[in-house]
Amino acid sequence: MIMIVVRTQIKEMLKASGTNVQNISSDFLETLDEKVRETVTLACKRAAANNRRTVMSRDL
């Protein structure tokens, strides 16, 4: 399965956070990817339950 989250983008977020956190473990990326997938799936289910074919911010 292809990862949804992009390591380089997460690394950029770390640098921009100003927290001095510099590294990402592989299990962090895997867990983050799972959370993103779960969130998107739940949002899709909510949109479908409201008879919409478009996922909106309010579905989050």
CA distances from 46 to 15, 38, 43, 54, 60 (A): 34, 12, 5, 10, 8
Rounded to two decimals, the pTM is 0.85
For 7-54, the pLDDT digits (tens) are: 999 999 999 999 999 999 989 999 999 999 999 999 999 999 999 999
Q: Tokens in use for 15?
A: 């640098």
pLDDT for res 1:
84
Place of tokens 């292809």: 2
How far is residue 47's CA from residue 50's CA, in Å, rounded to a whole number?
A: 5
